[in-house]
Structure 1
Amino acid sequence: MKSFWRLLRYLSRYQSLVVAAIGCNILTAVFTVISIPMLIPFFQILFDRTEMAEAPPSEPMGLTNIPEYINYEFTELITTQGQETALAYVCVAIVIVYFLRNIFRYLALYFMAPVRNGVIRDLRDEMFEQVLTLPLSYFGEERKGDLLSRLTSDVQEVESSILNMLEVVFREPLIITGALAFMIYVSPGLTVFVFLLIIFTGVVIGGLGKRLKRTSTQVQDRLGHLLSLVEEGLGGLRIIKGFAAEDYQRNKFSTANNDYRNLLTKLLRRRDLASPLSEFLGIATVAALLWYGSRQVFSGVLDAETFITFIFAFYNVIDPAKNIAKATSNIQRGIGAFERIEQLLDAVNNLPEAPDAKTISTFGQGISYRQVGFRYRDVEGPVLQNIDLEIPKGKVVALVGASGAGKSTLVDLLPRFYDVTEGGIFIDGVDVRQLRRRDLRRLLGIVSQEAILFNDTIYNNIVFGLDGVTQQAVEEAARIANAHDFIIATENGYGTNIGDRGNKLSGGQRQRLTIARAILRNPPILILDEATSALDSESERLVQDALTKLMEGRTAIVIAHRLSTIQHADEIIVMREGRIVERGTHLGLLEQGGEYRKLVALQGLE
């Protein structure tokens, strides 16, 4: 129940609405309880069994003699107006009470609607904020489809199964309490049956609810796996079709889908058992109640009209008890979903920002890697070892080496996508771990091998994350990136939507947009991660020209497989198995005849 109480803490943000809803639920319960004894005078008149009061009560009105005063006023009404008129008054009073009961019931739901939807909105906001905050290493361990499931179906499950039942939690116990109080007042003996029902129902439904919670968690896990397969299928359609692997992928999805269906069927069967089970228990108790109560009527202990009203009061216990039983099973199911949400909300950020993190807005001296070592997990071997590297301001440093040498990891440590496990990285003499992450990353412009674009317009992709940018500045950045000509040739120019991941554009066009985005940001430090490796010769020429313009006057770290693109770098760093094995200029490294010369020979550049 710890998760349930944590969820209820979100209600504190909507205090006034919750208080209003609770007040309306209390009034609903009050009018429900009032409606029960109002049936007694109705049956007394109907069966001509009204006990006529000859004189008003001698004592002043109090809690103990309210029925006597009501009976006296009722007697006066029958005496002066007649039985039919008195019956009409009773019917009108019953209608008014039920009208008020339902008005307040609606108002309780009216006030709770923005609370329920607001809590769900807050949950989604908090989860997405956590997604943006967590380091990249977290997402390497999680399936994207499972995260999508938590952000969508799990949150919706919480809304439908827990928040939708909050009015039941606030209202039904009050109705049960009032109805039981009336029943105890009328006949303590008969009320024993009600307690037996509630206790027995609580035990049976409680056990069912625990099973529902376990099954619900399994269902949400299976749905997350199913969404992961969908996400992988959509992202890999070209490969699936190219390798004629439709049957393999279809069978894989069908198996997961069938497993989800079977588990969901099991969950629904258990959930649907709660209501008929509680109804059966109620009917069994009513049968026993009718038998025992009839004996008391026959023996003169109870009046017939009082016993009928008692049965009506008992119904007002059974129906709320069924609602509570249903709410209990639903809440157990929802807690299973909320626990999956908590796994994301409580995920530990292993890249915390220092409490006294320093601000930085300018780059004045250089970047320094000092005895840097890194490994992704403690159980794995080192990815980087003993890296010492100085990058003065305004210099271009190129990283080369075979795949898996650690080049991309080396540059990923600079913006703190990961943290070093040994040594440190310094900007202007300050450890990057002591800088505010937002300030640090604003100094950097990143152009990666894969052009990361969004399903939006060309304009919004270029100005991504910036405010107050003019159209002239955007166009100037596009011209420098050799992108302006193809942009104005599109259907709506800078207002053209480029589709999911920019799939309406060619590879070279997408890459030039990312370069325009970096140019507009005007960062003092550039990270170019194999920005031209996936392009054809013509696109590579245009992109390389744009990169050359971008690097003018800036500090740049360039990762390149095509060595022809980095021959003019101020320093070339050759890496192998996480270590720096050579460093120098293009000509100097060629003269050494070592690792770099072998790489150059392999590409036929000598």
Structure 2
Amino acid sequence: MKFSLRLFLSYYRPYRRTLILDLLCALVVAGITLIYPLCAGYVTRTVLHGSSPEALPELMRVGAFMLVLLAVQIAANTYVDYQGHMMGTYIERDMRRDLFAHLQRLPFGFYDSHRTGQLMSRVTNDLYDVGELAHHGPEDLFIALLLFGGVFGVLLNLNPRLTLLLFCFLPFMAAYTVFFNMRLNRAMLQSRRRIGDVNAQVEDTLAGIRVVQSFTGEGTEQRRFDAENGRFVDSRRAGYHAEAYFYQGMVAFTQLMTVAVLVFGGLTILRGQLRLDELVTYLLCVGILMEPIRRFVNIARLLQEGVTGFQRFQELMAVQPDITDAPGALELKGVRGDVEFRQVRFQYPSSPVPVLRNINLTIAAGEFVALVGASGVGKSTLCALIPRFYEVTSGQLLVDGVPVDEVTLTSLRRNIGVVQQDVYLFSGTVLENILYGRPDASTGEVIEAARQAGAHDFIMALPQGYGTDIGQRGVKLSGGQKQRLSIARVFLKDPPILIFDEATSALDNDSERLVQQSLERLAQRRTTLVIAHRLSTVRNAGRIVVMTEDGISEQGTHDELMRRGGVYAELQAVGARL
């Protein structure tokens, strides 16, 4: 993606004052750097020439003046180093904030096709380098241009002919810079991708470390990591190769300039066209040329790292959520819980065939409906369409008679509670995890929600009760405990529509009985959809909807479906666990 300078500069807007002061300090630093060789030339020409009685006082005055310059230069450099770095850090923070907020708006479909480790690399490594560019880029460029222009101005004033000789080096330096800059750019882009692959591999392995160790797969994972790590090293090797040639080439050109000045300057002195003090000043100015060249080299490195990082930032920011609020979307209020599917069809972008075909289903407010069927027929997908985790391919889905794409996502999802089969708990305490359902709830309400989910007793048995830290993804809890906490979280949310993707599958018999009783109580006044993988859990459902690959096959109560002798009766006969 093409680098957007306008977007990049927009992040400087809140820090304009800091940027202006930073550049002013950079101007002071560059100006003082140019004054030093002029002072040296003045001392050589005026103070040390002859044995005037005023020589010593004049030398002391020049020394004092240079000390004042040094103090000002140090103060200016300190501001540039500290405040400039903080400005870059603030810009990095703002970009990371915007990217994180954007990632949270992207739908499930995006994450189905992107690895978490790659995304983490863009949020962390890439934006760190963008922050470095935001700080050092304007400052180094400003100082380098001032020094480069100022030095050549002084040199032209001292000896135009000798300076024109130095100008002859510039076209070759420019061509050399462009060539290796392009090579460096390609190498840095490749390196970005490779470190993302390394992060993705680490994230994948550590997230599944229990599986790795149970299958003694450490060797396999190490080989995969070593392969990705080796590819990263290869990409860095190409980058360092180009960077080394680039930097050493610049050094060589500068040294050639110094040699040229010594040789041709000496000849000029012999001809009486240049004084010795002028040659001293000239040589000191040529030495100063190393500073802007060093900064140009640094700018080239920062540009490659920062620009490629910003381009990857742009790529993610350019991904538009395909599930957004429609213009003039309504707030969904006073929800009763009526849900209706009208000729709904859904197909994943990566799938050649639709998962759901011509689904027509009406669920009345307060109804307890169970979805059963073989694995892969679309039970979970059907429920994921209600809160618009995915957008229907065709047809219409309504809540309380209002199409879900005509209401705001926030108000829609606020009224729907989901407990997924794959339980996810956040690092932190039991209390913090339950409060995720409703952050403004009181401790009493949290405890009541836990009681409804059959979780209060085991929570009180933990070392610090509700203040117990449960570890990454609730690793310190059993599977049944984690599931009951996730159910308590939804009970605290208290939505009018509940979706349970076999929420009791990992519970022991006593806990399952407690949760089932809670579900039945809640079902009297809430619309409840249960995705059943174990048929014994849905016998008491008000209605059972049987799904096949062709859509909804049959519906009714357990007794009605058993008398009918259809798909549901066949599943019961073989004792299917779906």
TM over 0.5: yes
Counterpart residue number, 1:70? none
Residue 478 of structure 2 is aligned with which of 506, 513, 522? 506
Q: Deviations over 1:379-414 (max 9, x none)?
A: 621111111111111111111100011111101011
Counterparts in 2 of 1:53-452, with a 5 A limit?
82-160=54-132, 163-364=135-336, 366-377=338-349, 380-452=352-424
Instruction: Name stretches of at least 5 consecutive residues in structure 1 with no aligned partner.
Output: 51-77
What's the offset of the Cα at 1:378?
7.3
* TM-score normalised by the chain length of structure 1: 0.91
Q: Which amino acid aligns with 1:192?
A: L
Distance 1:365 1:105 in 2: 65
Instruction: Name stretches of at least 5 consecutive residues in structure 2 with no aligned partner.
Output: none
Distance 1:530 1:34 in 2: 78
What's the offset of the Cα at 1:209?
1.9
Q: Deviations over 1:187-227 (max 9, x none)?
A: 22222233333432232122212211211121121111111
What's the offset of the Cα at 1:4?
5.2
Partners of 2:337 and 2:526 within 8 A in 1: no
After TM superposition, the structure 1 stretch with the greater mean CA deviation from structure 2, 81-90 or 518-527, is 81-90
Partners of 2:502 and 2:530 within 8 A in 1: yes
What's the offset of the Cα at 1:112?
1.0
| 2:41 maps to 1:40 | yes
Counterparts in 2 of 1:526-565, with a 5 A limit?
526-565=498-537
Counterpart residue number, 2:18? 17
Distance 1:112 1:377 in 2: 46
Distance 1:329 1:449 in 2: 48
* TM-score normalised by the chain length of structure 2: 0.95
What is the SS of the residue equivalent to 1:386? strand
Partners of 2:122 and 2:313 within 8 A in 1: yes
What's the offset of the Cα at 1:248?
1.8
Partners of 2:340 and 2:362 within 8 A in 1: yes
Partners of 1:400 and 1:574 within 8 A in 2: yes
Q: Deviations over 1:10-33 (max 9, x none)?
A: 111211111111111122222223
Counterpart residue number, 1:461? 433
Partners of 1:372 and 1:423 within 8 A in 2: yes
After TM superposition, the structure 1 stretch with the greater mean CA deviation from structure 2, 323-332 or 478-487, is 323-332
Counterpart residue number, 1:68? none
Counterpart residue number, 1:75? none
After TM superposition, the structure 1 stretch with the greater mean CA deviation from structure 2, 5-14 or 561-570, is 5-14
Q: Which amino acid aligns with 1:593?
A: G
Partners of 1:444 and 1:523 within 8 A in 2: yes
What's the offset of the Cα at 1:360?
1.2
Partners of 1:508 and 1:543 within 8 A in 2: no
What's the offset of the Cα at 1:92?
1.9
What is the SS of the residue equivalent to 2:552? strand
Distance 2:439 2:160 in 1: 72
Partners of 2:323 and 2:391 within 8 A in 1: yes
What's the offset of the Cα at 1:574?
0.8
Task: Call closer, same or farther: CA 1:363–1:528 in 2, change over 3 Å.
Answer: same
After TM superposition, the structure 1 stretch with the greater mean CA deviation from structure 2, 102-111 or 9-18, is 102-111
Distance 2:155 2:252 in 1: 21
After TM superposition, the structure 1 stretch with the greater mean CA deviation from structure 2, 530-539 or 376-385, is 530-539
Q: Which amino acid aligns with 2:3?
A: K
What's the offset of the Cα at 1:35?
2.9
Counterpart residue number, 1:492? 464
Task: Call closer, same or farther: CA 1:244–1:325 in 2, change over 3 Å.
Answer: closer
What's the offset of the Cα at 1:39?
2.2
What's the offset of the Cα at 1:242?
2.4
After TM superposition, the structure 1 stretch with the greater mean CA deviation from structure 2, 98-107 or 538-547, is 538-547
Counterpart residue number, 1:73? none
Task: Call closer, same or farther: CA 1:261–1:162 in 2, change over 3 Å.
Answer: farther
Q: Which amino acid aligns with 2:78?
A: Y
Q: Deviations over 1:533-579 (max 9, x none)?
A: 23443443333233334434111111102122112222211111151
After TM superposition, the structure 1 stretch with the greater mean CA deviation from structure 2, 214-223 or 156-165, is 156-165
Q: Which amino acid aligns with 1:9?
A: S
What's the offset of the Cα at 1:161?
5.1
After TM superposition, the structure 1 stretch with the greater mean CA deviation from structure 2, 577-586 or 398-407, is 577-586
**Which structure has the larger Rg over C-alpha atoms?**
1
Q: Which amino acid aligns with 1:534?
A: A
What's the offset of the Cα at 1:318?
2.9
Partners of 1:202 and 1:325 within 8 A in 2: no
Distance 1:204 1:336 in 2: 21
Q: Deviations over 1:436-465 (max 9, x none)?
A: 100000001111112211111000000115
Identity of aligned residues (%): 34
| 2:481 maps to 1:480 | no
Distance 2:431 2:98 in 1: 29
Partners of 2:88 and 2:134 within 8 A in 1: no
Q: Which amino acid aligns with 1:8?
A: L
Distance 1:49 1:433 in 2: 91
What's the offset of the Cα at 1:115?
0.7
What's the offset of the Cα at 1:267?
2.0
Q: Which amino acid aligns with 1:201?
A: M
What is the SS of the residue equivalent to 2:12? helix
Q: Which amino acid aligns with 1:565?
A: T
Distance 2:29 2:277 in 1: 25
Distance 1:266 1:604 in 2: 57
What is the SS of the residue equivalent to 2:397? strand
Partners of 1:511 and 1:543 within 8 A in 2: no
Counterparts in 2 of 1:578-593, with a 5 A limit?
578-593=550-565
Q: Which amino acid aligns with 1:288?
A: A
Distance 1:157 1:542 in 2: 53
Partners of 1:426 and 1:432 within 8 A in 2: yes
After TM superposition, the structure 1 stretch with the greater mean CA deviation from structure 2, 499-508 or 562-571, is 562-571
What's the offset of the Cα at 1:323?
1.4
Task: Call closer, same or farther: CA 1:347–1:279 in 2, change over 3 Å.
Answer: same
What's the offset of the Cα at 1:121?
0.6
What is the SS of the residue equivalent to 2:390? coil
Distance 1:527 1:196 in 2: 76
Distance 2:146 2:419 in 1: 63
Distance 1:322 1:39 in 2: 23
Q: Which amino acid aligns with 2:43?
A: F
What's the offset of the Cα at 1:496?
0.2
Partners of 1:212 and 1:332 within 8 A in 2: yes
Tell me the C-alpha RMSD between the 2 structures.
Answer: 2.0
Task: Call closer, same or farther: CA 1:604–1:231 in 2, change over 3 Å.
Answer: closer
Q: How many residues align?
A: 576
